[in-house]
Structure 1
Amino acid sequence: MISIYSVGALILAYLFGSIPTAVWIGQAFYGIDVREYGSGNAGATNTFRVLGKKAGIPVMILDILKGWTATNLVSFIGLSVTGPAHSIQFVNYQLALGIVAVMGHLFPVFAGFRGGKGIATLFGMVLAVHLPSALICVLVFLVILLLTKYVSLSSISAGFAFTFSVIFIYQVSVKAIVIYGMCICILILVTHQKNIERLLRGKESKVNLFKKSSNSSSNLR
């Protein structure tokens, strides 16, 4: 049964997701709207590309925290977990809240509905829903990033790793999580269509997290 608390939690989850960390940090500390440069997205990857790691790391952490916090709002809507059936209901609420937060990141009400691609917020959601698979995603992301220096390819690989891990490694019995994993793959392919095209053409930008970043005009393109 849908209660007023559940509806309120969904609205709050969307508002959490709508916090445009990349836009606000870029404007507050650099006088730059990252959406006007690089890939044009208000996300951690484009922040790394345009402003460097000093801005990109905080944006990434805050975007992850948005997804994690929104997903965990389920603990505050009066839902008790006492058995398997209730556990499934709990996870369903988690997924609903997390998905709404991701939609908030994609279409933020606080930034003219021009957001990012939702990968960091998706990861925060995964952390809250299934921690072991989230750790596998981190490992896959880091390995691909170190090998290729493509954040987009690393994000795509990590998203598919989540689906693979919940189905084949941990064999999660909650169907909603499996379906969610499949939806993640579709969402990632849709939101990274331009990145995939650039990867195939060999024109995708690389990010080196271990080099000293420069905020010169060469980054603002």
Structure 2
Amino acid sequence: MSAGTVLAWAAVVVAAFLVGSLNPATMIARLLGKDLASSGSGNPGATNAARVLGRKWGVVVGVLDVLKGLVPAFVAGHWFGGAHAAYAAGIAAVLGHIWSPYLRGRGGKGVATTLGALLGVHPWVALVVVVVFAVGVALTRWVAAGSIFGSLAMLVVAVLIWTGHAPGDVWTGLWLMAIGLLVLARHKNNVVGWWRQRHLTDET
């Protein structure tokens, strides 16, 4: 790999990270005179935006968050002509959303941006994740549960790829595993809260 190619890859990754770092939820909330950090769950993402600003604004934020993952992954994949660049750009955008330098290291949980990255590289995986997410929300009436189920679906697809039961190579599986675990880790508090609530319910 030439020095020019390395620099180009680095530029793509940095650009994707900075695009992912832009936080539409916080920007729109400020324009509307709201502070998401001190409202609702405090999370600067689409779900909390819908809770605090209204469903319409939640949808707008969700679409913009999806585009933050879709555009870098799609452009990088077509610019370099391969999936590996798209993987790097996609995960960089998700990391930027989660740990935004514009928000001093804070950020959302990465669900919508992950969906965008999937759409930019493997739309069929994105479809699987959306279906599982929708079923999870329908069964539990809880968006976080849908996100957790969707992340688990990515891990399952990764295993299916590694065992030859789904199309893709080892890098595809590794990417899906990494991005799925990343989103799962961001929902750790949701899982802990659910477990504690269930434990208290069982005791009473």
Q: TM tier, shorter chain?
A: 0.7 to 0.9
In structure 1, the residue matched to 2:20 is 17
- Structure 1 residue 168, shift from structure 2 partner: 2.8
Distance 2:159 2:122 in 1: 12
- Structure 1 residue 40, shift from structure 2 partner: 1.9
1:114 aligns with 2:117: no
Higher relative contact order (CA 8 A, sep 6+): 1
- Structure 1 residue 59, shift from structure 2 partner: 0.6
Contact map agreement 1:34 1:42 (CA 8 A) in 2: yes
In structure 1, the residue matched to 2:152 is 160
Give 3-state SS (helix, strand or coil) of 2:96's partner.
helix
Q: After superposition, what is the alpha-carbon deviation per residue over 1:85-144, rounded to whole angstroms, capped at 9, x for unaligned?
A: xxxxx1111111111111110121222222111111011011112111111111111111
Distance 1:50 1:202 in 2: 24
The 3 A distance-change label for structure 1 pair 128 and 190 is same
Q: Which runs of 5+ in 1 are unaligned?
A: 81-89, 204-221
The 3 A distance-change label for structure 1 pair 172 and 75 is closer
Distance 1:163 1:193 in 2: 16
Contact map agreement 2:109 2:186 (CA 8 A) in 1: yes
- Structure 1 residue 197, shift from structure 2 partner: 1.4
In structure 1, the residue matched to 2:86 is 94
Distance 2:108 2:26 in 1: 10
TM-score by length of 1: 0.80
Contact map agreement 1:13 1:101 (CA 8 A) in 2: yes
Contact map agreement 2:155 2:180 (CA 8 A) in 1: yes
The CA RMSD over aligned residues, in Å, is: 1.9
Contact map agreement 1:44 1:60 (CA 8 A) in 2: yes
Residue identity over aligned pairs, in percent, reads 35
The 3 A distance-change label for structure 1 pair 146 and 73 is same
Name the one with the larger helix percent.
Answer: 2
In structure 2, the residue matched to 1:66 is 68
1:123 aligns with 2:115: yes
In structure 1, the residue matched to 2:8 is 5
Distance 1:160 1:65 in 2: 22
Which of these residues, 139, 143, 152, is aligned with residue 151 of structure 1? 143
1:174 aligns with 2:169: yes
Contact map agreement 1:10 1:100 (CA 8 A) in 2: yes
- 1:29-40 alignment, distance < 5 Å: 29=32, 31-40=33-42
Contact map agreement 1:9 1:73 (CA 8 A) in 2: no
In structure 1, the residue matched to 2:44 is 42
1:188 aligns with 2:183: yes
